Structure 1
């Protein structure tokens, strides 16, 4: 499996590595021994983004469990050290530095704070695979993701087209004013809505602790019939609760984050009818790759319940990308040869999990145009995929 961030820019692999690195029969690349390849894992095990990305590690464990039980890569077991970036860019840089200093060959990463270490990892020529929710993933050619959802260069019409098709006319945007990713996503969604003729008439803050009554009045007083949130699933659920309590007249309720059974377990019928976005085909479609993932989660990460979590599947795909790169990079890989091998991959679909095939060279820096939408059923117990699946839009300017 591979991620959606492609294209070869000159200057990657600044460590000067090319091809194989073998001296006297032994590989010389950091983290590579005769029987082991050691990666680094960087994610928020604490902090404000923990609820969004915390299960990423479980997906990593599941994918590595499957790979290592089948003999690893070129006879080597793949393992990792990990660091908690605490949802903070400065801690993210400190964690990345520590992992590289301890000899990590490459990095698996899922966080909203990757901007902290992106330049450092690029300058060191370290391959990175993970979840793309910040602009560095569309800039640095050593970073690979199965989708790109944020870029300062523009947006996609997919969100706006969806809202317009479901009867929306004007929107209120729910953000976290102290989270850069939330504000960037809000700007991107605003551009998408505008392209579909839907104006964002108000922006309201849902940073914890949330005054539900005050937030509800702001949403209702905006007069908007569309509620869009660029906050965590928990904060989005509370915003919907506030809007319901104020009897706001909403036609469409939409969040690009929060497609997770746990949000249903907490909010139940409160979020009935709400729409969520996935950058992969939903679990409810039951593809063979979904079943493989769930079986591996049950065996190698049984503590993660429910297993159908967006971050966990991202961990699975991100790790599969890394394994694929290691497989084709040569039996004695360098960091540069891994990056080059991944950039050469075309038509990648993650065994049918992704919403669009990826060409890692041609698609580098481009936003994901094709997304899947799901709706919470009337009793708030499950998600139902919304046709067409996926829905594909076009690039639009911010």
Structure 2
């Protein structure tokens, strides 16, 4: 009842605001931004450090005076790695903390997006949790890497598997995370478009699974020579370990292995050695303006980060989601409102965070819910004590998808 009354009050206050007034969370010298992520629970392994990434990007901005004279203030809420937890966290940020917008780094954010859309709250993130980022009416949501089942797949995965000699691919996904099975379907379409065989598929893996004995036996039976797991780091490492222990000669592409933690842990490094990892961003070894700026900001503002290390997915995604929030605020004008943020960011047709992203993305209304026609990505391979970037792979949309 208390939450419902708070919602009614917030709507009433919004209705009283004049068209030119600023939105909730905006004062004369600050803008309050929320971050919802997994500080505790099963997903915290990958996403707890997203807070440090967002803080580093915001600290870099504030050191330069902020946006239009306003500095950003970050308020973080823990989703506890559950659907109920993310709903509570989002309501807390919007109704109690009065944030302007939300950085969404949660595997269960899909449970709260209907509320965020109704409140017209701008949301930036990496789109890894579910299908809502590219679906109407959620035009308030902006993703750096949308993994939406409604997006047409590209030829990239299939072409890369082909380039490393794979002919029969196994795909593994979680049963209870929509984007996991959705992104795996995209990979399978890509594999088949390249003339390869999607030889084994399992989308019934419970989140947190570590025993893949039976799965690997099925992969052997299907004679796969390549595999991908649309999973979190502990799960895909467990799969890679089981594959090697079973003597299955298959080349894996891992989703979260491109990180310093892989190099620092001897047991993990042995598991991942000679395998490949998907790089959501331009590999840091290639030193673009954006990636070098990110590493410098992390070294300066994140006490746990050591200069020269490879940031994990959560840390990098938190930084970039904050960068996108900043881009939206810049486009929102001197008197930012949630509406002007959304309409302003929708005018951006080529965003790549100064070269952090492997290909620019468009937020234009006619591109909402669509992939780029010329998408590109990178993969890296662990060779000895370092990751070696593979040649950039650019593709096209899979026809008839």
Pairwise TM-score range, normalised by the shorter structure: 0.7 to 0.9
**How far 1:207 moved relative to its partner?**
5.1
Question: By percentage of residues, which structure has more helix?
Answer: 2
**How far 1:260 moved relative to its partner?**
1.6
Structure 2 distance, partners of 1:365, 1:207, is 27
The C-alpha deviation readout for 1:4-35, integer Å capped at 9, x for no partner, is xxxxxxxxxxx77999634xxxx4x2111112
Matched, 1:164 2:167: no
Match of 2:350 among 347, 350, 361: 347
- Counterpart of 2:387? 383
Match of 2:127 among 107, 127, 132: 132
SS at match of 1:83: strand
**How far 1:313 moved relative to its partner?**
1.9
298-307 vs 271-280, which deviates more? 298-307
Identify unmatched segments of 5+ residues in structure 1: 1-14
- Counterpart of 1:109? 104
40-49 vs 147-156, which deviates more? 147-156
- Counterpart of 1:123? 118
The residue correspondences of 1:136-151 to structure 2 (distance < 5 A) are 136-139=132-135, 140-151=138-149
Structure 1 distance, partners of 2:271, 2:297, is 32
Considering Cα pairs closer than 8 Å and 6+ residues apart, tell me whether 1 or 2 has the greater RCO: 1
Closer, same or farther in 2 for the Cα pair 1:241/1:19, shift >3 Å?
farther
**How far 1:176 moved relative to its partner?**
3.0
- Counterpart of 2:10? none
Matched, 1:37 2:37: no
- Counterpart of 1:9? none
**How far 1:248 moved relative to its partner?**
0.8
**How far 1:68 moved relative to its partner?**
0.9
**How far 1:307 moved relative to its partner?**
5.4
Closer, same or farther in 2 for the Cα pair 1:62/1:390, shift >3 Å?
farther
Structure 1 distance, partners of 2:83, 2:320, is 24
- Counterpart of 1:321? 324
Structure 2 distance, partners of 1:66, 1:95, is 26
Closer, same or farther in 2 for the Cα pair 1:277/1:296, shift >3 Å?
same
Matched, 1:247 2:247: yes
C-alpha contact 1:174 1:239 (8 A) present in aligned 2: no
Structure 2 distance, partners of 1:328, 1:152, is 28
C-alpha contact 1:40 1:105 (8 A) present in aligned 2: yes
- Counterpart of 1:184? 182
- Counterpart of 2:20? 21
Number of residue pairs matched? 375
Match of 1:312 among 305, 312, 315: 315
The C-alpha deviation readout for 1:41-85, integer Å capped at 9, x for no partner, is 111112222222222111111111111111112222210221111
TM-score, normalising length: structure 1: 0.87
- Counterpart of 1:7? none
Structure 2 distance, partners of 1:17, 1:109, is 28
Structure 2 distance, partners of 1:130, 1:197, is 33
SS at match of 1:147: coil
Structure 2 distance, partners of 1:17, 1:340, is 21
SS at match of 1:356: coil
**How far 1:153 moved relative to its partner?**
4.6
358-367 vs 340-349, which deviates more? 358-367
C-alpha contact 2:256 2:312 (8 A) present in aligned 1: no
Structure 1 distance, partners of 2:15, 2:192, is 46
TM-score, normalising length: structure 2: 0.86
Q: What value does the CA root-mean-square deviation take over the aligned residues?
A: 2.3
The C-alpha deviation readout for 1:81-119, integer Å capped at 9, x for no partner, is 211112222321221111110211111111221211111
Match of 1:370 among 360, 369, 376: 376
Matched, 1:232 2:227: no
Closer, same or farther in 2 for the Cα pair 1:36/1:193, shift >3 Å?
same
Closer, same or farther in 2 for the Cα pair 1:16/1:201, shift >3 Å?
farther
Closer, same or farther in 2 for the Cα pair 1:228/1:335, shift >3 Å?
same
Closer, same or farther in 2 for the Cα pair 1:209/1:147, shift >3 Å?
closer
The residue correspondences of 1:144-293 to structure 2 (distance < 5 A) are 144-204=142-202, 205=205, 208-211=208-211, 213-250=213-250, 252-266=251-265, 267-293=268-294
